[in-house]
Amino acid sequence: MLAPPIHCAGLVKRYADVVAVAGLDLTVNARECFGLLGPNGAGKTTTIEILEGLTAPDRGEVEILGMRWTGGANTRALRERLGIQLQDTQLADKLTVEETVRLFRSFYRAAHSVEEVLGLVGLEEKRGAWVGKLSGGQKQRLAVACALVSQPELLFLDEPTTGLDPQSRRQLWDVIGRFRAAGGTVLLTTHYMEEAERLCDRVAIMDHGKVIALGTPRALIASLGAEHVVEFALADGATRAPSPSELSALPGVRAVRPGLDRTALTVAEVHRAVPALLGLLERRGAELSLLATHHATLEDVFVSLTGRQLRDA
Amino acid sequence: MRDHPLVQLTLARMREFYREPEAIFWVFGFPIVLAFALGIAFRNRGPGELRVAVLRGAGDSAMATALARAPGLTAAVLDSGEARLQLRTGRVALLVVPGDPLVYRYDSTRTESRLARLEADEVLQRARGRADPARVADQRVTEPGSRYIDFLIPGLLGMNLMGSGLWGVGFSVVQARTKKLLKRFMATPMRRSHYLLSFILSRLVFLFLEVAALVGFGWWVFHVGVRGSFAAVAFITVLGALSFAGLGMLVASRARTIEAVSGLMNLVMLPMWILSGTFFSYARFPDALQPFVKALPLTALNDALRAVMIDGSRLTELGAPLGIVTAWGLVSFVLALQIFRWR
């Protein structure tokens, strides 16, 4: 039985008076795409950099592909097998795409050819362009190309799609999909739940340096006990609003989350809950200014666990 | 071979440099412009014509005529107010007041004035019948190697080695650090020694061009030659470049921002610009300062370059300055490796 690509236990990392990682255990299985999901400042980047061997933890054990970050030749041998994209690397502006890939390629004993790796990320036409002239999405694909050039068994991606337009994001998802189809294992961080749901086999939701939920996206959403979310807001504000207890007594409603500008209900059966809600509001003489329903997402899971939105947490 | 990490890192360094037009100017253009401007401004013209004034009085015009006839002197008769003004503002070097005794009024701290006093006195004494007991003949020579430009070119070479060593290494390292590129490299199996060596190698390539440009310019425009061997010049410049690359590495070893490293670099370079005898001889500084001045790497480098280029010294005679240059480089490099911030 092969060791899992990533295994860590009891990770702790403090910066001055901030605890970035507060006791974290994680196992990522072979050929899995695993997502660390959480708001900014949850400790995702610190965690991934500890796993990458770039940051030393204050406490805890890390094993990557069955090896430890012990330094020297051992560390170099391990780095040969990894592909790493960091969140805020700015590659040299005055080098071309091809020169950049060739530079990173030279660090590895076994590596893709420049043509192959540019093909993988769809940058063949940009091979002669200066890095400084690329769009944000192209730069990000180049960063992933530099991670893929080593033919890694394990790929680390730290917020690979943050700040990209939807089309660039989809292109990167395709790159990750192709890497997985070829048998690779991926650990990525993101604060887009849509991305995590789409790409990841399992996700760990992080908050304040801890994993607060772990499982497949489907299982996590199912843990809400309901698959839909109904949101409504009233035209005349709070005066005629029904109380949370009145709302949770409605048929099919599992949970009530009052918000600043709207109230969200987690609902098992929309077809029963919505008419009941409308009836209740009419009896109280309240007028709707908004009514919307959507399938529950990982965002709803995060909100139900922490009471905060992912984006502004 | 081409895909060796050291080759690729060195190529990347070189590309980033030559694709930056500003860098090209500061390394190649600026020292040449400086050499040209200073070479023209301080070219050896000799003292030129000395202006002497005679105060209006008895026998003034005869005296002025005699003075004006002497080579290298011009003379004019002036009223006392005008004469005092011109003497004070340096437009005349000497004021002759006719009478008995004959009075020479001049500023004895001005070389020109003392020269004018000697020349004028000779003319006036001869006019009154003095005879010289010995026959003399003049032989005029201008010795290449004794002009200001001969002194300046080796100094500019040294200063340029310092500047491009410190900026070339220090700036790039800190830029890679602020852009998190250093950290990204650390996430690969790249050897740290390869990264640092790539700076040295690319410095050596550009060093050759830098030295050739400045020495070639000096020879072409001002006929500044190299009296010693070119091999010795090459050896000293390589040693100097390595030493300052080491110093650059040390300056950049901890700095996290471009501003911080720029400040540190100026702190390191400014004293040497002034003290190390690039533009004028450091012998002008007080004796108490001399041991400190001589211990600076740029002073030692300039001394060694001048010894070879002007005096034709051999490397074996330059143990002391070359030792100082080497020591600075080694100590900085070792220290830099100890404290280098790799992320």
Query: pLDDT tens across B31-71, in order?
Result: 889 888 888 887 766 656 889 999 998 888 888 888 888 88
B186–A54: do the CB atoms touch at under 8 Å?
yes
Least-confidence region, from A19-23, B26-30, B94-98: B26-30
B16/chain A closest Cα distance in angstroms: 6
User: Which residues of A are less than 8 Å from B12 in CB distance?
Assistant: 92, 95, 99, 103
**Which chain A residue is nearest to residue B9, measuring alpha carbons?**
A103
Measured over the CA atoms of residue A260, residue A266, residue A270 and residue A275, the dihedral's sign is negative
> Is pLDDT of A104 > 90?
yes
For the stretch A24-77, pLDDT in tens is 999 999 999 999 998 888 899 999 999 999 999 999 999 999 999 998 889 999
Question: Is residue B126 less than 8 Å (CB to CB) from chain A?
Answer: no
Please state whether the peptide bond connecting residue B291 to the residue before it is cis, i.e. omega within 30 degrees of 0: no
Residue with tokens 């200066």: A130
Measured between beta carbons, the chain A residues lying within 8 angstroms of B183 are: 54, 86, 89
Residue B244 is predicted with a pLDDT of 94
Mean pLDDT of B208-218: 89
Contacting A residues, span 248-277, partner chain B, CB-CB under 8 Å: none
Residue A150 forms contact with B (CB below 8 Å): yes
Q: What are phi and psi of A22, to 5 degrees?
A: -120, 65
Q: Which of A79, A88, A103 sits opposite B12 (nearest CB)?
A: A103
Interface membership of B334 toward A (CB under 8 Å): no
pLDDT score, position A5:
95
Inter-chain residue contact B11 with A99, CB threshold 8 Å: yes
Is pLDDT of B267 > 70? yes
Q: Does B12 touch chain A (CB under 8 A)?
A: yes
What's residue B49's pLDDT? 80
pLDDT of residue A16: 87
Name which of A46, A64, A89, A149 to mutate to probe chain B: the one with the most chain B Cβ atoms within 10 A of its Cβ.
Answer: A89
> A98 and chain B: CB distance < 8 Å anywhere?
no
Contact B8 A106 (CB under 8 A): yes
Res. A240: pLDDT tops 80: no
Q: Tell me, yes or no, if B19 comes closer than 8 A to chain A by beta carbon.
A: yes
Q: Is B256 an 8 Å CB contact of chain A?
A: no
Confidence category of residue A238, pLDDT binned at 50, 70, 90: low
How far apart (Å, rounded) are the C-alpha atoms in residues A97 and A133?
A: 10
Residues B118-144, mean pLDDT to the nearest whole number: 83
Indicate the pLDDT class of residue B144, thresholds 50, 70 and 90: low
Give residue A297's pLDDT. Answer: 85
User: Looking at the complex, does the CB of residue B7 fall below 8 Å from at least one CB of chain A?
Assistant: yes
pLDDT of A308 higher than 90: no
Q: Which residues of B touch A99 (CB under 8 A)?
A: 11-12, 15
How many angstroms separate the CA of residue A192 from the nearest CA in chain B?
24
What is the predicted ipTM?
Answer: 0.87
pLDDT of residue B47: 58
- Note the pLDDT of residue A261: 80
Kindly tell me if the per-residue pLDDT of A1 is higher than 60: no
Q: What is the pLDDT of residue B31?
A: 85
Contact B188 A107 (CB under 8 A): yes
Question: Would you call B342 an interface residue with chain A, using a CB distance cutoff of 8 Å?
Answer: no
Distance from A159 to chain B by nearest Cα, in Å? 15
Tens digit of pLDDT for each residue in A127-158? 999 999 999 999 999 999 999 999 999 999 99
Q: What is the pLDDT at residue B257?
A: 92
Query: Minimal Cα–Cα distance from B5 to chain A, Å?
Result: 5
- Tell me the percentage of chain B whose pLDDT exceeds 90: 50
CA of B209 vs chain A CAs: smallest distance (Å) = 21
Contact present, A16 and A64 (Cβ < 8 Å) = no
Q: What is the pTM of this model?
A: 0.80
- Please, what is the average pLDDT of chain A? 90
- Would you say A304 and A257 are in contact if contact means Cβ atoms under 8 Å apart? yes
Is the pLDDT at A313 greater than 50, yes or no?
no
Letter for the amino acid at A258? Answer: P
* Contact: B15, A95; criterion CB under 8 Å: yes
Q: Which residue has the higher pLDDT, A201 or B127?
A: A201
Q: Does residue B192 belong to the interface with chain A, where contact is any CB pair within 8 Å?
A: no
Q: Residue B301 has what pLDDT? A: 96
Cross-chain residue pair B16–A95, CB shorter than 8 Å: yes
Considering only CB atoms, B180 lies closest to which of A82, A88, A109, namely A88
Measured between beta carbons, the chain A residues lying within 8 angstroms of B188 are: 79, 84, 104, 107-108, 150
**How many Cβ contacts (< 8 angstroms) between chains A and B?**
72
**Interchain contact, A54 vs B11, CB within 8 Å:** no
Chain A residues lying within 8 Å of B187, measured CB to CB: 52-54, 79, 82, 84, 86
How many angstroms separate the CA atoms of B88 and B83, rounded?
Answer: 9
- Distances in whole angstroms, Cα of residue B107 to Cα of each of A94, A125, B85, B87, B143: 61, 77, 13, 9, 30
Q: In what order do the strands lie in the sheet with A210-215?
A: A82-85, A154-158, A185-190, A33-37, A202-207, A210-215
Tell me the nearest-neighbour CA distance from B184 into chain A, angstroms. 7
pLDDT band at B127 (very low <50, low <70, confident <90, very high): confident
Identify the pLDDT of residue A105: 96
Q: Do A94 and B19 touch (CB under 8 A)?
A: yes
pLDDT at B264: 94
Q: CB distance A106–B180 less than 8 Å?
A: no
* DSSP assigned state of B49: P
Lowest mean pLDDT among A250-254, A306-310, B101-105: A306-310
Instruction: Verify whether the Cβ–Cβ distance B15 to A99 is below 8 Å.
Output: yes
Q: Do A106 and B5 touch (CB under 8 A)?
A: yes
With CA atoms as reference, the chain B residue closest to A75 would be B189
Contacts of B248 (CB under 8 A, 6+ apart): B165, B166, B167, B168, B169, B170, B173, B199, B265
DSSP code string of chain A: -PPPSEEEEEEEEEETTEEEEEEEEEEE-TT-EEEEE--TTSSHHHHHHHHTTSS--SEEEEEETTB----HHHHHHHHTTEEEE-TT----TTSBHHHHHHHHHTT-SS---HHHHHHHHT-GGGTTSBGGGS-HHHHHHHHHHHHHTT--SEEEEESTTTT--HHHHHHHHHHHHHHHHTT-EEEEEES-HHHHHHH-SEEEEEETTEEEEEE-HHHHHHTTT-SEEEEEEETTTTTTPPPHHHHHTSTTEEEEEE-SS-EEEEES-HHHHHHHHHHHHHHHT--EEEEEEEE--HHHHHHHHHSS-TTT-
Q: Which residue has the higher pLDDT, A260 or B79?
A: B79
